[in-house]
């Protein structure tokens, strides 16, 4: 990169206008290529590291969201797979403006919503058992309550479901607003309505 | 109540049921459902275009055979396949532009519902046209026994699949209409 800058100027005065133009274009191409090549190497290295980190540290979060949007085991596995593909493809553009957790929520929720199957219906409890969800303290009652909570959340529409999931994971209204693309007041009112629906269910 | 719900949610531990094949993802050997869907629309856009371009050859072949198919039928077919190709291309472009990593949830929802609705509307528009087209061609060739056998067999198979698809289609359309009544997604649908 440094060498290109220093060897370029002396050759220019000896060239015709057309050749000079071509030389400038070639120079710019080389510079852009050198810069992007350098960036790619760094980005690729970072991407591998971040992707590995996401798989080990955030799989529970991703799986839980995918589960909330799926009706069958196959659908769940497809959503999880799709989410990881989108995460890998999106990592090169991830600019760290938000936290990795918030960004993961955005990607996972968008992937799940864009893959919603309208016709399938959840097979109650069977699919949950198949997915090997377990409760930390082996309390049967809490396990049953969790199944019920999942079923209730699944009855909400996709937007309310996304809001309630983020709220359950302790996100602030501003973070929810950023991921959802709705203003704070709308989030608050929708959350209130969603909670009321959950209580009724 | 709120804390109780949050506790329940956060207490869930997930035990992976299937190991993720990260290497295939990194190598780009896997595609998402949305990418597959876009690919399908692209395929049908190309198919429609090919069929449209094939129509003059078909017309030439038909004019040298015993089939009685008038020139207007081929012109109609060309327009039909051309419009099919354009609509599929529009859906392909629209779906390809959905970026799950940068768009907000509301934007993605709005676009998904819009393209699903458009797809169903295009089906609603083209299915009767296709039936009318086949009917007209069959009517023009009532005297050709074997041609009619083909049309009857095709119609029976088509009706069997079509009725099933129509019921599913109506159910999907109703669901989409219910979802699109949500005010927050309205502004992203155009």
pLDDT per residue as tens digits for the range B31-47: 888 888 899 899 999 99
Contacts A103 to B, Cβ<8 Å: 101
pLDDT at B43: 95
Closest Cα partner for A146 from A159, A133, A158, A155? A133
pLDDT at A106: 92
Q: How far does A123 lie from chain B, in Å, by closest CA? A: 18
Q: For the whole model, what pTM was predicted? A: 0.74
**Residue of A184 and A43 predicted with greater confidence:** A184
pLDDT at B50: 95
Alpha carbons A21 and A16: distance in angstroms, whole number: 9
The dihedral through the CA atoms of A30, A33, A34, A35 has a sign that is positive
Q: Using CB atoms, pick whichever of B2, B100, B184 lies closest to residue A111.
A: B100
pLDDT reading at A15 higher than 70: no
- Testing the interface with B: which of A81, A127, A196 to mutate, by most B Cβ within 10 A? A81
**Residue of B128 and A20 predicted with greater confidence:** B128
Q: Return mean pLDDT, chain A.
A: 74
- Per-residue DSSP letters for A154-190? HTS-HHHHHHHHHHHTT--HHHHHHHHT--HHHHHHH
Alpha carbons B56 and A93: distance in angstroms, whole number: 47
Contacts A102 to B, Cβ<8 Å: none
pLDDT at B179: 63
Contact at CB, B105 and A89, closer than 8 angstroms? no
Contact at CB, A157 and B32, closer than 8 angstroms? no
pLDDT at A139: 58
Angle of helix B33-63 versus helix A73-90 axis, rounded to 10 = 100
Contact at CB, A55 and B20, closer than 8 angstroms? yes
A88 CB near a chain B CB, below 8 Å?
yes
> What is the distance of C-alpha A72 from the center of its chain?
22
pLDDT reading at A38 higher than 50: no
Contacts A58 to B, Cβ<8 Å: none
The tokens describing B128, both together, are 């009767």
Contact at CB, A93 and B102, closer than 8 angstroms? yes
The tokens describing A8, both together, are 């370029």
CB B113 within 8 A of CB B189: yes
A161 CB near a chain B CB, below 8 Å?
no
Q: Which residues of chain B have pLDDT under 50?
A: 190
**Residue of A166 and B184 predicted with greater confidence:** A166
Alpha carbons B31 and A79: distance in angstroms, whole number: 12
Q: What is the ipTM of this complex?
A: 0.76
A94 CB near a chain B CB, below 8 Å?
yes
pLDDT at B175: 67
Per-residue pLDDT tens digits for A83-127: 999 998 888 888 777 888 899 999 999 999 888 665 444 444 444
Per-residue pLDDT tens digits for A139-165: 566 666 667 777 788 788 888 888 988
Alpha carbons A199 and A13: distance in angstroms, whole number: 79
**Which residue of A lies nearest to B176 if distances are taken between CA atoms?**
A118
Helix (H) or strand (E) holding A133: strand A133-135
CB A58 within 8 A of CB A103: no
CB A113 within 8 A of CB A162: yes
Alpha carbons B99 and A106: distance in angstroms, whole number: 11
End-to-end CA distance of chain A: 64
Per-residue pLDDT tens digits for A67-84: 888 877 788 888 888 999
Greatest mean pLDDT among A1-5, A47-51, B121-125 lies in B121-125
What separation in angstroms does the CA of B120 have from each of A171, B47, B88, B113, B125? 37, 19, 12, 11, 9
The tokens describing A117, both together, are 């199957």
pLDDT at A111: 92
Neighbours of A176 (CB within 10 A): 25
pLDDT at B53: 93
**Which residue of B lies nearest to A83 if distances are taken between CA atoms?**
B32
């Amino acid at each position: 990169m440094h060498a290109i800058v220093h060897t370029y100027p002396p050759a220019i005065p000896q060239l015709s206008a057309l050749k000079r133009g071509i030389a400038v274009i070639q120079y710019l191409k080389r510079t852009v290529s050198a810069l992007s090549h350098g960036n790619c190497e760094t980005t690729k290295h970072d991407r591998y590291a971040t992707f590995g980190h996401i798989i080990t540290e955030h799989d529970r979060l991703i799986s839980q969201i995918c589960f909330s949007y799926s009706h069958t085991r196959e659908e769940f596995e497809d959503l999880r797979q799709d989410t990881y593909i989108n995460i890998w493809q999106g990592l090169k553009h991830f600019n760290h403006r938000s936290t990795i957790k918030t960004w993961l929520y955005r990607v996972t929720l968008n992937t799940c919503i864009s893959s919603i199957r309208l016709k399938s219906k959840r097979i109650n409890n069977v699919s949950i058992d198949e997915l090997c969800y377990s409760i930390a303290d082996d309390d049967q009652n809490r396990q049953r309550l969790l199944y019920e909570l999942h079923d209730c959340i699944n009855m909400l529409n996709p937007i309310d479901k996304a809001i309630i999931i983020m709220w359950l994971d302790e996100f602030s209204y501003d973070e929810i607003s950023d991921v959802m693309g709705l203003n704070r007041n709308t989030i608050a009112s929708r959350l209130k309505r969603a909670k009321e629906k959950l209580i009724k269910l | 109540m709120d804390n109780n719900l949050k506790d329940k949610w956060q207490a869930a531990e997930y035990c992976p049921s299937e190991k993720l094949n990260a290497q295939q993802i990194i190598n780009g050997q896997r595609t998402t459902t949305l990418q597959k869907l876009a690919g399908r629309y692209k395929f049908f856009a190309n198919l429609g275009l090919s069929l449209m371009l094939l129509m003059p050859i078909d017309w030439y072949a038909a004019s040298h055979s015993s089939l009685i198919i008038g020139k207007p039928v081929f012109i109609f077919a060309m327009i039909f396949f051309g419009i099919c190709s354009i609509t599929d291309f529009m859906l392909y472009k629209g779906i390809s532009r959905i970026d799950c990593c940068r768009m907000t949830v509301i934007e993605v929802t709005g676009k998904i519902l819009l393209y699903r609705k458009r797809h169903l509307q295009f089906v609603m528009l083209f299915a009767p046209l296709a039936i009318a087209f086949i009917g007209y061609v069959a009517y023009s060739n009532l005297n050709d026994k074997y041609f009619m056998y083909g049309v009857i067999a095709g119609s029976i198979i088509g009706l069997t699949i079509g009725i099933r698809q129509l019921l599913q289609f109506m159910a999907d359309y109703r669901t989409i209409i219910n979802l699109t009544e949500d005010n927050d997604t309205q502004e992203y649908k155009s």
